[in-house]
Structure 1
Amino acid sequence: MPRAALPIPHSRLPIPLRVHVGYAVPRAGLPAPASFRRWVEAALRGAKRRKGTELAIRIVDTDEGRALNRDYRGKDYATNVLSFPAELPPGVKLPLIGDLAICAPVVLREATEQGKSPRDHWAHLTVHGVLHLLGYDHIEEAEAEAMEALETRVLASLGIGDPYA
């Protein structure tokens, strides 16, 4: 006689990936939310992060990018990507890893200056930002080498060449 399936405890249920994308700039020519989700999934897979993560990505203009960089990092210029890891109160267990702010004009300018496909550069900066949310950094040389190697592997899994070559 077949046994009835036992319910899986709620804490062990897989939590789906949720990527919320907001555009504070016109969307024409920018990646779709599905592309950002694909790039986030690749970064999480590459970092061996369990599924069940939530983050928000906001695509900003130069003014907002500059204000965020100035207010949170003390640098008065727009940068390509800013990462804001979630700071949850003790005891609160949520799948939230944080937020990314990606400055569209900076991304497009850098892609042109570096001779890269804009889509590949968007993918790179999304992966880069997600890795920051997971605790990776590039302040120390050894950390930078490890992070860049991981970024390169993740991007290769997406069919994108080494952004540091």
Structure 2
Amino acid sequence: MALNHLTLSLQFARDASTHRAALPRHKVARWIRHALAVDAEITVRIVGSEEGRRLNREFRRKDYATNVLTFDYQQEPTVLADLVLCAPVVEREAREQGKTLQEHYAHLLVHGALHAQGWDHETGEQDAQEMEAYETEIMRELGFADPYAG
């Protein structure tokens, strides 16, 4: 499989910098690249609870921090997007799901990259099943277990 070109900016907010070790740049780029159907310019920002909650409230009208927010600005000819992941939420979910922090981040980055390309699991059950199946396939290609099993 030929992988697409990715221009990646990886940022850590001060209150999320402890997750830097779980997210080496080369791995983040590999995970996202596997989910891309076209070339992309993506910024990944790892944030704390306060910033995550503020962004979710401002842009989705939901007053809580969520695991990943995708801001997609363009899908063709190149994907332009920001992926914002909330470190405390990702850490809690990984613990609750019995996954490593790195494994959960990989899944959420794949998930966010698919959203940036127009995939949507909130438009109907069939769309959700198709997106989950594709995420599972990508995660297996990357050497991870089915993120929805268990």
TM-score (norm 2): 0.88
Structure 1, gaps ≥5 residues long: 1-14
In structure 1, what is the equivalent of residue 129 of structure 2? 145
**Pairing of 1:95-134 with structure 2 (within 5 A):** 95-134=78-117
CA distance in 2, matches of 1:63, 1:30: 21
1:156 aligns with 2:140: yes
1:19 aligns with 2:11: no
Give the aligned residue type for 2:72. Answer: P
CA distance in 2, matches of 1:35, 1:20: 13
CA distance in 2, matches of 1:16, 1:146: 25
Report if aligned partners of 1:23, 1:59 keep a CA contact under 8 Å in 2. yes
Structure 2, gaps ≥5 residues long: none
Deviation at 1:32, TM superposition (A): 1.6
In structure 2, what is the equivalent of residue 42 of structure 1? 34
In structure 2, what is the equivalent of residue 3 of structure 1? none
Structure with a larger share of its residues in helix? 2
Deviation at 1:53, TM superposition (A): 1.4
Describe the SS at the equivalent of 1:26.
Answer: helix
Indicate the RMSD between aligned Cα atoms, in angstroms: 1.7
TM-score (norm 1): 0.81
Deviations 1:89-109 (A, max 9, x none): xxxx76342111000111011
Structure with a larger share of its residues in strand? 2
Bigger radius of gyration, 1 or 2? 1
Report if aligned partners of 1:97, 1:134 keep a CA contact under 8 Å in 2. no
1:31 aligns with 2:23: yes
